[in-house]
Protein backbone atom coordinates (compact mmCIF):
# COMPACT_ATOMS: atom_id res chain seq x y z
CA UNK A 1 0.00 0.00 0.00
CA UNK A 2 0.92 3.64 -0.48
CA UNK A 3 -0.04 5.39 2.76
CA UNK A 4 -0.08 9.15 3.33
CA UNK A 5 0.14 9.89 7.07
CA UNK A 6 -1.04 13.33 8.17
CA UNK A 7 -1.10 14.87 11.63
CA UNK A 8 0.32 17.63 13.79
CA UNK A 9 2.21 15.23 16.12
CA UNK A 10 4.87 12.76 15.01
CA UNK A 11 8.29 11.36 15.88
CA UNK A 12 10.60 12.24 17.53
CA UNK A 13 8.02 13.32 20.13
CA UNK A 14 8.35 10.92 23.05
CA UNK A 15 4.79 10.89 24.40
CA UNK A 16 1.20 10.87 23.25
CA UNK A 17 -0.03 10.94 19.67
CA UNK A 18 3.36 11.69 18.13
CA UNK A 19 4.91 8.60 19.69
CA UNK A 20 2.19 6.24 18.45
CA UNK A 21 1.85 7.75 14.97
CA UNK A 22 5.62 7.57 14.50
CA UNK A 23 5.79 3.97 15.68
CA UNK A 24 2.90 3.01 13.41
CA UNK A 25 4.57 4.60 10.38
CA UNK A 26 7.89 2.88 11.06
CA UNK A 27 6.18 -0.49 11.57
CA UNK A 28 4.18 -0.21 8.35
CA UNK A 29 7.29 0.83 6.43
CA UNK A 30 9.11 -2.22 7.82
CA UNK A 31 6.34 -4.42 6.40
CA UNK A 32 7.13 -3.13 2.92
CA UNK A 33 4.48 -0.43 2.56
CA UNK A 34 5.36 2.89 0.96
CA UNK A 35 4.77 5.89 3.22
CA UNK A 36 4.86 9.65 3.15
CA UNK A 37 4.29 11.85 6.20
CA UNK A 38 3.07 15.46 6.47
CA UNK A 39 3.47 16.79 9.99
CA UNK A 40 4.82 19.63 12.15
CA UNK A 41 8.15 20.04 13.91
CA UNK A 42 8.22 18.31 17.30
CA UNK A 43 6.95 20.55 20.10
CA UNK A 44 4.96 18.35 22.50
CA UNK A 45 4.67 18.04 25.50
CA UNK A 46 6.92 21.04 26.29
CA UNK A 47 5.00 23.32 23.89
CA UNK A 48 8.31 24.47 22.50
CA UNK A 49 9.79 23.42 19.18
CA UNK A 50 12.83 21.21 19.69
CA UNK A 51 16.20 22.21 18.25
CA UNK A 52 17.33 21.95 15.46
CA UNK A 53 13.77 22.16 14.12
CA UNK A 54 12.08 25.46 13.33
CA UNK A 55 8.47 26.58 13.74
CA UNK A 56 8.90 29.13 10.92
CA UNK A 57 10.12 27.15 7.93
CA UNK A 58 9.14 24.18 5.83
CA UNK A 59 11.53 21.24 5.96
CA UNK A 60 11.67 17.99 4.03
CA UNK A 61 13.42 15.03 5.61
CA UNK A 62 14.60 12.50 3.02
CA UNK A 63 13.57 8.85 3.12
CA UNK A 64 17.15 7.90 3.99
CA UNK A 65 16.61 9.18 7.56
CA UNK A 66 13.58 7.11 8.57
CA UNK A 67 12.65 4.96 5.59
CA UNK A 68 10.06 7.40 4.25
CA UNK A 69 10.03 11.14 3.41
CA UNK A 70 8.67 13.52 6.06
CA UNK A 71 7.47 17.06 5.36
CA UNK A 72 7.59 19.38 8.40
CA UNK A 73 5.25 22.37 8.10
CA UNK A 74 5.50 25.58 10.17
CA UNK A 75 3.04 26.35 12.93
CA UNK A 76 2.46 28.78 15.77
CA UNK A 77 3.21 27.42 19.24
CA UNK A 78 1.85 29.60 22.09
CA UNK A 79 3.98 30.13 25.16
CA UNK A 80 0.90 29.99 27.38
CA UNK A 81 -1.83 27.61 26.28
CA UNK A 82 -5.45 28.71 26.54
CA UNK A 83 -8.54 27.48 24.74
CA UNK A 84 -8.46 30.26 22.13
CA UNK A 85 -4.70 30.01 21.62
CA UNK A 86 -4.93 26.26 21.20
CA UNK A 87 -7.45 26.76 18.39
CA UNK A 88 -5.13 29.25 16.66
CA UNK A 89 -2.23 26.84 17.12
CA UNK A 90 -4.13 24.01 15.45
CA UNK A 91 -5.42 26.28 12.72
CA UNK A 92 -1.92 27.49 11.88
CA UNK A 93 -0.80 23.94 11.09
CA UNK A 94 -3.96 23.15 9.14
CA UNK A 95 -3.29 26.19 6.92
CA UNK A 96 0.45 25.74 6.35
CA UNK A 97 0.20 21.99 5.75
CA UNK A 98 -2.66 22.20 3.22
CA UNK A 99 -0.55 22.99 0.13
CA UNK A 100 1.97 20.27 1.02
CA UNK A 101 -0.86 17.79 1.46
CA UNK A 102 -2.40 18.76 -1.89
CA UNK A 103 0.88 17.99 -3.68
CA UNK A 104 0.58 14.38 -2.55
CA UNK A 105 -2.43 13.89 -4.86
CA UNK A 106 0.02 13.26 -7.70
CA UNK A 107 1.64 10.47 -5.68
CA UNK A 108 -1.69 8.62 -5.84
CA UNK A 109 -1.82 7.12 -2.33
CA UNK A 110 -4.03 4.16 -1.55
CA UNK A 111 -4.81 5.46 1.95
CA UNK A 112 -4.86 8.97 3.43
CA UNK A 113 -4.59 8.52 7.20
CA UNK A 114 -5.11 11.43 9.59
CA UNK A 115 -4.79 11.58 13.37
CA UNK A 116 -7.22 13.52 15.55
CA UNK A 117 -6.47 15.76 17.27
CA UNK A 118 -6.59 17.85 15.24
CA UNK A 119 -10.04 17.65 13.71
CA UNK A 120 -9.12 20.78 11.75
CA UNK A 121 -6.89 18.60 9.58
CA UNK A 122 -9.65 16.14 8.75
CA UNK A 123 -11.39 18.05 5.90
CA UNK A 124 -8.12 18.46 3.99
CA UNK A 125 -7.27 14.77 4.46
CA UNK A 126 -10.72 13.76 3.19
CA UNK A 127 -10.43 16.09 0.17
CA UNK A 128 -7.00 14.75 -0.81
CA UNK A 129 -8.27 11.19 -0.47
CA UNK A 130 -11.20 11.87 -2.76
CA UNK A 131 -9.12 13.74 -5.36
CA UNK A 132 -6.51 10.97 -5.46
CA UNK A 133 -8.94 8.04 -5.35
CA UNK A 134 -7.64 6.91 -1.94
CA UNK A 135 -9.49 5.63 1.10
CA UNK A 136 -9.88 8.23 3.86
CA UNK A 137 -9.07 7.01 7.40
CA UNK A 138 -9.27 9.06 10.57
CA UNK A 139 -7.90 7.82 13.90
CA UNK A 140 -9.25 9.44 17.07
CA UNK A 141 -6.81 9.52 19.97
CA UNK A 142 -8.79 12.18 21.83
CA UNK A 143 -12.27 13.64 21.42
CA UNK A 144 -10.91 17.17 21.44
CA UNK A 145 -14.23 18.96 21.03
CA UNK A 146 -15.93 17.19 23.94
CA UNK A 147 -12.80 17.39 26.09
CA UNK A 148 -12.25 21.10 25.46
CA UNK A 149 -15.71 21.96 26.77
CA UNK A 150 -15.80 19.38 29.57
CA UNK A 151 -12.46 20.64 30.88
CA UNK A 152 -13.52 24.27 30.62
CA UNK A 153 -10.97 25.24 27.95
CA UNK A 154 -13.88 26.47 25.81
CA UNK A 155 -17.23 27.55 27.27
CA UNK A 156 -19.50 29.12 24.66
CA UNK A 157 -22.52 26.76 24.34
CA UNK A 158 -23.33 27.90 20.80
CA UNK A 159 -19.76 27.23 19.75
CA UNK A 160 -20.05 23.78 21.26
CA UNK A 161 -23.17 22.94 19.28
CA UNK A 162 -21.54 24.19 16.09
CA UNK A 163 -18.29 22.29 16.72
CA UNK A 164 -20.13 19.04 17.49
CA UNK A 165 -22.23 19.41 14.34
CA UNK A 166 -19.11 19.94 12.23
CA UNK A 167 -17.41 16.98 13.90
CA UNK A 168 -20.39 14.74 13.18
CA UNK A 169 -20.53 15.92 9.55
CA UNK A 170 -16.81 15.26 9.02
CA UNK A 171 -16.59 11.87 10.73
CA UNK A 172 -19.49 10.40 8.78
CA UNK A 173 -17.67 11.01 5.50
CA UNK A 174 -14.55 8.98 6.24
CA UNK A 175 -14.22 5.41 4.98
CA UNK A 176 -12.79 4.27 8.32
CA UNK A 177 -13.04 5.83 11.79
CA UNK A 178 -10.84 4.17 14.39
CA UNK A 179 -10.25 4.97 18.03
CA UNK A 180 -8.40 3.57 21.03
CA UNK A 181 -11.03 2.22 23.46
CA UNK A 182 -14.43 0.56 23.45
CA UNK A 183 -16.14 3.54 25.09
CA UNK A 184 -14.59 5.93 22.58
CA UNK A 185 -15.72 3.61 19.78
CA UNK A 186 -19.26 3.68 21.14
CA UNK A 187 -19.10 7.48 21.19
CA UNK A 188 -18.04 7.47 17.53
CA UNK A 189 -21.15 5.46 16.70
CA UNK A 190 -23.24 7.88 18.75
CA UNK A 191 -21.82 10.69 16.61
CA UNK A 192 -23.20 9.02 13.50
CA UNK A 193 -20.33 6.80 12.34
CA UNK A 194 -21.71 3.69 10.64
CA UNK A 195 -21.12 0.35 12.34
CA UNK A 196 -19.12 -1.04 9.43
CA UNK A 197 -16.80 1.97 9.44
CA UNK A 198 -16.05 2.05 13.18
CA UNK A 199 -12.88 0.24 14.21
CA UNK A 200 -11.06 -0.40 17.48
CA UNK A 201 -7.36 0.44 17.13
CA UNK A 202 -5.90 0.61 20.67
CA UNK A 203 -2.58 2.05 21.66
CA UNK A 204 0.04 -0.62 22.10
CA UNK A 205 3.27 -1.43 23.86
CA UNK A 206 6.45 -3.10 22.66
CA UNK A 207 6.46 -6.02 25.07
CA UNK A 208 9.68 -7.39 23.60
CA UNK A 209 11.40 -4.12 24.48
CA UNK A 210 10.55 -4.55 28.16
CA UNK A 211 11.79 -8.14 28.21
CA UNK A 212 14.98 -7.27 26.34
CA UNK A 213 15.93 -4.62 28.90
CA UNK A 214 15.84 -7.25 31.65
CA UNK A 215 13.53 -5.43 34.03
CA UNK A 216 10.76 -8.04 34.13
CA UNK A 217 10.46 -10.58 36.90
CA UNK A 218 12.60 -8.68 39.38
CA UNK A 219 11.74 -6.50 42.31
CA UNK A 220 12.57 -2.84 41.61
CA UNK A 221 15.26 -2.85 44.30
CA UNK A 222 16.97 -5.85 42.74
CA UNK A 223 16.56 -4.75 39.10
CA UNK A 224 19.67 -3.24 37.60
CA UNK A 225 17.91 0.03 36.96
CA UNK A 226 19.92 3.12 37.78
CA UNK A 227 17.21 5.55 38.80
CA UNK A 228 17.16 4.55 42.46
CA UNK A 229 20.87 5.20 42.77
CA UNK A 230 20.71 8.38 40.71
CA UNK A 231 17.88 9.77 42.84
CA UNK A 232 19.29 8.56 46.20
CA UNK A 233 16.30 6.33 46.91
CA UNK A 234 16.92 3.58 49.49
CA UNK A 235 16.83 0.03 48.13
CA UNK A 236 14.03 -0.94 50.53
CA UNK A 237 11.82 2.07 49.76
CA UNK A 238 8.47 1.66 48.01
CA UNK A 239 8.44 3.86 44.90
CA UNK A 240 5.20 5.35 43.56
CA UNK A 241 5.73 6.69 40.05
CA UNK A 242 3.88 9.06 37.75
CA UNK A 243 5.45 9.44 34.31
CA UNK A 244 3.77 11.28 31.48
CA UNK A 245 2.40 14.54 30.23
CA UNK A 246 1.90 17.31 32.78
CA UNK A 247 -1.06 19.03 31.17
CA UNK A 248 -4.68 19.88 31.90
CA UNK A 249 -6.40 16.51 31.50
CA UNK A 250 -4.40 14.54 34.05
CA UNK A 251 -5.60 16.05 37.33
CA UNK A 252 -2.03 16.05 38.65
CA UNK A 253 -2.71 18.50 41.47
CA UNK A 254 -3.74 15.56 43.64
CA UNK A 255 -0.25 14.00 43.59
CA UNK A 256 1.63 16.62 45.68
CA UNK A 257 -1.28 16.56 48.12
CA UNK A 258 -0.95 12.79 48.48
CA UNK A 259 2.84 13.07 48.90
CA UNK A 260 2.29 15.63 51.66
CA UNK A 261 -0.17 13.31 53.45
CA UNK A 262 2.44 10.52 53.52
CA UNK A 263 5.57 12.63 54.03
CA UNK A 264 5.75 12.13 57.80
CA UNK A 265 3.97 8.88 58.65
CA UNK A 266 5.31 6.81 55.73
CA UNK A 267 8.90 7.76 55.08
CA UNK A 268 9.39 4.41 53.31
CA UNK A 269 7.22 5.62 50.41
CA UNK A 270 9.01 7.76 47.83
CA UNK A 271 7.32 9.49 44.89
CA UNK A 272 8.91 10.00 41.48
CA UNK A 273 7.12 12.51 39.26
CA UNK A 274 8.46 12.53 35.71
CA UNK A 275 7.23 14.50 32.73
CA UNK A 276 6.86 17.73 30.84
CA UNK A 277 3.98 19.95 29.81
CA UNK A 278 2.17 23.24 30.28
CA UNK A 279 1.45 22.44 33.95
CA UNK A 280 5.02 21.49 34.90
CA UNK A 281 5.97 24.82 36.52
CA UNK A 282 2.89 24.93 38.73
CA UNK A 283 3.33 21.26 39.61
CA UNK A 284 6.92 21.88 40.73
CA UNK A 285 5.73 24.68 42.98
CA UNK A 286 3.19 22.37 44.63
CA UNK A 287 5.96 19.82 45.29
CA UNK A 288 8.39 22.34 46.79
CA UNK A 289 9.71 21.27 50.16
CA UNK A 290 8.36 17.71 50.07
CA UNK A 291 11.22 15.40 51.16
CA UNK A 292 9.61 12.27 49.70
CA UNK A 293 9.36 13.63 46.13
CA UNK A 294 11.87 13.31 43.28
CA UNK A 295 11.20 15.32 40.11
CA UNK A 296 12.49 14.30 36.68
CA UNK A 297 12.09 15.78 33.20
CA UNK A 298 10.74 13.63 30.40
CA UNK A 299 13.16 10.73 29.97
CA UNK A 300 14.64 9.32 26.73
CA UNK A 301 12.64 6.57 25.04
CA UNK A 302 15.49 4.09 25.46
CA UNK A 303 15.19 4.39 29.27
CA UNK A 304 11.40 4.01 29.45
CA UNK A 305 11.29 0.38 30.56
CA UNK A 306 14.08 1.07 33.05
CA UNK A 307 12.12 3.98 34.51
CA UNK A 308 8.85 2.04 34.73
CA UNK A 309 10.60 -0.92 36.36
CA UNK A 310 11.93 1.40 39.08
CA UNK A 311 8.40 1.70 40.41
CA UNK A 312 6.64 -0.53 42.90
CA UNK A 313 3.36 1.27 42.17
CA UNK A 314 2.21 3.28 39.13
CA UNK A 315 -0.02 6.31 39.60
CA UNK A 316 -2.69 7.19 37.03
CA UNK A 317 -4.57 10.34 38.05
CA UNK A 318 -7.53 11.36 35.90
CA UNK A 319 -9.89 14.29 36.05
CA UNK A 320 -13.48 13.15 36.48
CA UNK A 321 -14.74 15.31 33.61
CA UNK A 322 -12.33 13.70 31.11
CA UNK A 323 -13.55 10.15 31.69
CA UNK A 324 -14.08 8.10 28.52
CA UNK A 325 -13.20 11.08 26.28
CA UNK A 326 -9.56 10.03 26.37
CA UNK A 327 -7.79 6.76 27.19
CA UNK A 328 -4.42 7.42 28.85
CA UNK A 329 -1.70 6.13 26.53
CA UNK A 330 0.71 5.83 29.46
CA UNK A 331 -1.36 2.93 30.82
CA UNK A 332 0.09 0.55 28.23
CA UNK A 333 3.63 0.88 29.57
CA UNK A 334 2.44 0.60 33.16
CA UNK A 335 0.77 -2.74 32.43
CA UNK A 336 3.75 -4.05 30.46
CA UNK A 337 6.11 -3.29 33.34
CA UNK A 338 4.33 -5.86 35.57
CA UNK A 339 3.67 -3.31 38.32
CA UNK A 340 0.27 -2.54 39.89
CA UNK A 341 -1.60 0.65 39.05
CA UNK A 342 -3.59 3.00 41.26
CA UNK A 343 -6.00 5.07 39.18
CA UNK A 344 -8.45 7.82 40.02
CA UNK A 345 -11.59 7.08 38.00
CA UNK A 346 -15.31 6.67 38.48
CA UNK A 347 -16.60 3.11 38.47
CA UNK A 348 -18.05 2.17 35.12
CA UNK A 349 -15.52 4.08 33.06
CA UNK A 350 -13.22 2.06 30.83
CA UNK A 351 -10.13 3.17 32.74
CA UNK A 352 -11.70 1.79 35.93
CA UNK A 353 -12.65 -1.47 34.24
CA UNK A 354 -9.10 -2.07 32.97
CA UNK A 355 -7.29 -1.00 36.15
CA UNK A 356 -9.60 -3.02 38.41
CA UNK A 357 -8.00 -6.14 36.92
CA UNK A 358 -4.47 -5.09 37.76
CA UNK A 359 -4.59 -2.47 40.49
CA UNK A 360 -6.80 -0.30 42.66
CA UNK A 361 -9.34 2.32 41.62
CA UNK A 362 -10.29 5.28 43.81
CA UNK A 363 -12.65 8.23 43.21
CA UNK A 364 -11.21 11.17 41.24
CA UNK A 365 -9.85 14.13 43.21
CA UNK A 366 -9.91 12.22 46.54
CA UNK A 367 -6.38 12.58 47.91
CA UNK A 368 -7.05 10.63 51.09
CA UNK A 369 -8.45 7.64 49.17
CA UNK A 370 -5.46 7.69 46.83
CA UNK A 371 -3.05 7.83 49.77
CA UNK A 372 -4.80 4.91 51.46
CA UNK A 373 -4.59 2.83 48.26
CA UNK A 374 -0.86 3.52 47.99
CA UNK A 375 -0.35 2.51 51.62
CA UNK A 376 -2.34 -0.68 51.10
CA UNK A 377 -0.09 -1.73 48.22
CA UNK A 378 3.07 -0.55 50.00
CA UNK A 379 2.25 -2.87 52.90
CA UNK A 380 1.45 -5.92 50.77
CA UNK A 381 4.23 -7.09 48.45
CA UNK A 382 2.26 -10.19 47.53
CA UNK A 383 -0.70 -8.14 46.33
CA UNK A 384 1.63 -5.88 44.34
CA UNK A 385 3.14 -8.90 42.61
CA UNK A 386 -0.21 -10.52 41.84
CA UNK A 387 -1.72 -7.33 40.42
CA UNK A 388 1.43 -6.55 38.45
CA UNK A 389 1.42 -9.99 36.85
CA UNK A 390 -2.26 -9.56 35.98
CA UNK A 391 -1.44 -6.29 34.26
CA UNK A 392 1.36 -7.88 32.26
CA UNK A 393 -0.97 -10.70 31.21
CA UNK A 394 -3.58 -8.17 30.07
CA UNK A 395 -0.93 -6.37 28.02
CA UNK A 396 0.21 -9.62 26.40
CA UNK A 397 -3.34 -10.56 25.45
CA UNK A 398 -4.55 -7.15 24.29
CA UNK A 399 -1.79 -4.59 23.74
CA UNK A 400 1.21 -6.24 22.10
CA UNK A 401 2.52 -3.92 19.39
CA UNK A 402 2.91 -6.50 16.65
CA UNK A 403 -0.53 -8.02 17.23
CA UNK A 404 -2.31 -4.64 17.28
CA UNK A 405 -0.52 -3.25 14.24
CA UNK A 406 -0.78 -6.46 12.24
CA UNK A 407 -4.52 -6.47 12.81
CA UNK A 408 -4.81 -2.83 11.75
CA UNK A 409 -2.65 -3.44 8.68
CA UNK A 410 -5.07 -6.21 7.70
CA UNK A 411 -8.01 -3.80 8.06
CA UNK A 412 -6.30 -1.26 5.79
CA UNK A 413 -5.55 -3.92 3.18
CA UNK A 414 -9.15 -5.09 3.27
CA UNK A 415 -10.38 -1.50 2.95
CA UNK A 416 -8.23 -1.11 -0.17
CA UNK A 417 -9.53 -4.36 -1.63
CA UNK A 418 -6.28 -6.25 -1.10
CA UNK A 419 -5.78 -9.62 0.54
CA UNK A 420 -5.15 -9.79 4.25
CA UNK A 421 -1.76 -11.17 5.37
CA UNK A 422 -1.79 -14.84 6.30
CA UNK A 423 -0.69 -14.02 9.86
CA UNK A 424 -3.22 -11.47 11.06
CA UNK A 425 -2.97 -12.30 14.76
CA UNK A 426 -5.75 -12.31 17.30
CA UNK A 427 -8.43 -9.68 17.51
CA UNK A 428 -8.12 -6.99 20.16
CA UNK A 429 -11.40 -6.70 22.00
pLDDT score recorded for residue 423? 41
pLDDT score recorded for residue 422? 42
pLDDT score recorded for residue 152? 72
Helix 122-132 to helix 83-103 angle (10° resolution) is: 10
Instruction: Confirm whether 2-204+400-415 and 207-397 share one CATH topology.
Output: yes
pLDDT score recorded for residue 411? 96
- Among 354, 341, 344, CA closest to 384: 341
pLDDT score recorded for residue 370? 97
Strands 198-200 and 238-245: unpaired
pLDDT score recorded for residue 427? 36
**pLDDT tens figures, 59-77:** 999 998 889 999 999 999 9
Architecture of domain 207-397: 3-Layer(aba) Sandwich (3.40)
CB proximity list for 191: less than 8 A, separation 6 or greater: 164, 167, 168, 171, 172
- Compute the distance between CA of residue 75 and CA of residue 48 in angstroms, rounded to an integer: 11
308 alpha-carbon distance from chain centroid: 16
Bin 84: left if φ > 0, else alpha if -120 < ψ < 50, else beta. Answer: alpha
pLDDT score recorded for residue 268? 94
Q: Up-side HSE of residue 328: CA atoms within 13 Å toward CB?
A: 34
Q: Tell me how crowded residue 342 is: count the other CB atoms within 10 A of its CB.
A: 25
pLDDT score recorded for residue 157? 83
- Compute the distance between CA of residue 140 and CA of residue 143 in angstroms, rounded to an integer: 7
Q: Where are the domains of the chain?
A: 2-204+400-415, 207-397
Q: Does domain 2-204+400-415 have CATH number 3.40.50.2000?
A: yes
53 alpha-carbon distance from chain centroid: 22
Residue ranges of the chain with per-residue pLDDT less than 50: 217-218, 220-224, 422-429
Q: Is the pTM of this model over 0.75?
A: yes
Amino acid sequence: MKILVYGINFSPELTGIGKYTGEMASWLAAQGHELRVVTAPPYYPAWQVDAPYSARWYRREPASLSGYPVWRCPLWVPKKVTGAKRLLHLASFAVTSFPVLLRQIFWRPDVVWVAAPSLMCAPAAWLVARLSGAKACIHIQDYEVDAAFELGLLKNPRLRLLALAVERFVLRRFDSVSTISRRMLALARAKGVAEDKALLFPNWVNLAGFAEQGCLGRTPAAAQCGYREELSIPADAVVALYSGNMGTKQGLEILPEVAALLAQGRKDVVFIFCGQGVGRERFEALCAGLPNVRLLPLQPAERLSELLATADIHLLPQRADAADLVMPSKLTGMLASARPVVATAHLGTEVAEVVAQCGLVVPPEDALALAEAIVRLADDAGLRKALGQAGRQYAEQNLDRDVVLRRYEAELLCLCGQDRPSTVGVAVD
